[in-house]
Amino acid sequence: MSTQRSTDQQSKRRIRIFDTTLRDGEQAPGASMKPEQKVVIARQLARLGVDVIEPGFAISSPGEFNAIQQISRELHDVEICGFARCMKEDIDAAVAATRDAARRRLHLFISSSQIHLDFQLRKSQDEVIRVLRDMVAYGKQFVDEIEFSPMDASRSSEEFLFRVVESAIEEGATIINIPDTMGYAMPEEFGPLFSRIRHNVRGGDKVVYSTHCHNDLGLAVANSLAAIRHGVTQVEVSVNGVGERAGNCSLEELVMAIQTRGDAIGVETGVNPEHIYETSRLVSRMMHFPIAFNKPIVGRNAFQHESGIHQDGLLKNRNTYEIMDPEAMGIPRSMIVLGKHSGRHAIKHRIAEYGIQLADEQLDDLYTRFKSKADEQKIITDDVLLKLVSESTDSFLE
């Protein structure tokens, strides 16, 4: 295993990033946005380099329809995905809202787990098959690319799941998205499911595979990577991992896992990491969704180092305690936070940045003052540190 920042440029399988921040992400309680805000985020997603944007659920409101329409009209370098239940009115709305997109697809879904059939759809397995066949065929009249999702796939019986997928393919679905709707799957069982579908379903070797993982057990990224290992070439994600309940697979985590360790599985994405931080902040602001301090990649503490041992190592070579370059993701220069765990070396280094050099004896004095201050407050800002320097210097003049 290497912690090198550079990735070698051997030929790698390209993973397409399908962003559902504006559809599934917006389903997070309290996250809904105005149509103009959705358009702003869609522009940023295109700048970031995602391959597909799912801008919303057209049937849900006139504002939603208009936002999808505007995004479809404006963003021509990215594929736009309409989203619909297996119902004619949903499909008509999704098709109409995305009509002006340069490239578009239609995403249809219906549940395949028995618990959803019994309590949510109240349909038999045969009825589900009939509805999905009719609706995939209906949608296919309008668009070439149909993405089909068996909802709650990971909790479905494999026998029925295979039947559902085979029926969708027979009616013209070109992309099969297998969701872990409840975030229930484990990587070692979820990955191989894709291989079994490909081998057991008629036509299963002719379609593109995608995955869509929720994060209820904190496994969304791990499950998505497991799916990639088993041939998936599209992953559905959201910025900051926003989405229903514990959210969706986080775009920035998946992209940076691939960027940092993609060599291990021979894959890459087309996302430009430089825009990750600004995209994350924009989505957080617009959705009024704060980001946890310790959130990987974009959390406040993700590249901050307080422990003296870590700070010392970093000052000598950043690779000692950083596996990614924060600046490559547009994150302001990795800050060394000074606090009670900081050592003399870090303090000396920080004051040197202000052009201050102290004799050993004076540095000892500053260090003692620093430690007692750090016991009182969690973080020693530069202002406080400079005040301590003055106090120390004054004491030597007395």
Nearer Cβ to Zn ion, position 202 or 245? 245
Query: By CB under 6 A, how many residues form the interface with ligand KIV?
Result: 9
Of the candidate residues 181, 210, 224, 234, the single one contacting ligand KIV (CB under 6 A): 181
Look-up: residue for tokens 């102290």?
A: 358
Nearer Cβ to ligand KIV, position 107 or 310? 107
Helix (H, G, I), strand (E, B) or coil at 14: strand
Strand pairing report for 208-213 and 234-237: parallel
**Site membership for ligand KIV, residue 149 (CB under 6 A):** yes
Nearest approach, Cβ of residue 149 and ligand KIV (Å): 4
Of the CA atoms within 13 Å of residue 396, those in its CB half-sphere come to 14
Nearer Cβ to ligand KIV, position 26 or 322? 26
DSSP states of 63-108 as a string? HHHHHHHHHHHH--SSEEEEEEESSHHHHHHHHHHTTT-SSEEEEE
Nearest approach, Cβ of residue 322 and ligand KIV (Å): 34
Of the candidate residues 155, 163, 212, 373, the single one contacting ligand KIV (CB under 6 A): 212
Interacting positions 23-42 with Zn ion (CB under 5 A): 24
Nearest approach, Cβ of residue 179 and ligand KIV (Å): 3
Smallest Cα–Cα separation from 353: which of 365, 370, 338, 340? 338
CB 291, CB 37: distance < 8 Å = no
- Extract the tokens encoding 276: 């990750």
**Residue-wise over 261-273: b if at least 16 C-beta within 10 A, else e?**
ebbebebbbebeb
Q: What gap in Å lies between CA 369 and CA 376, rounded to an integer? A: 11
User: Which of these ranges, 9-17, 20-28, 105-113, 128-136, lies near Zn ion under the rule CB under 5 A?
Assistant: 20-28
Q: What gap in Å lies between CA 176 and CA 231, rounded to an integer? A: 12
Nearest approach, Cβ of residue 264 and ligand KIV (Å): 27
Strand pairing report for 234-237 and 267-269: unpaired
**Site membership for ligand KIV, residue 24 (CB under 6 A):** yes
User: Which of these ranges, 2-10, 61-69, 173-181, 333-341, lies near ligand KIV under the rule CB under 6 A?
Assistant: 173-181
The residue number whose beta carbon is nearest to Zn ion equals: 24
**Site membership for ligand KIV, residue 116 (CB under 6 A):** no
Interacting positions 177-196 with Zn ion (CB under 5 A): none
In the list Zn ion, ligand KIV, none, the entry touching 109 (Cβ below 5 to 8 angstroms by class) is ligand KIV
DSSP 8-state symbol, 299: S
Give me the residues that bind Zn ion (CB under 5 A), please. Answer: 24
Give me the residues that bind ligand KIV (CB under 6 A), please. Answer: 24, 109, 149, 151, 177, 179, 181, 212, 214
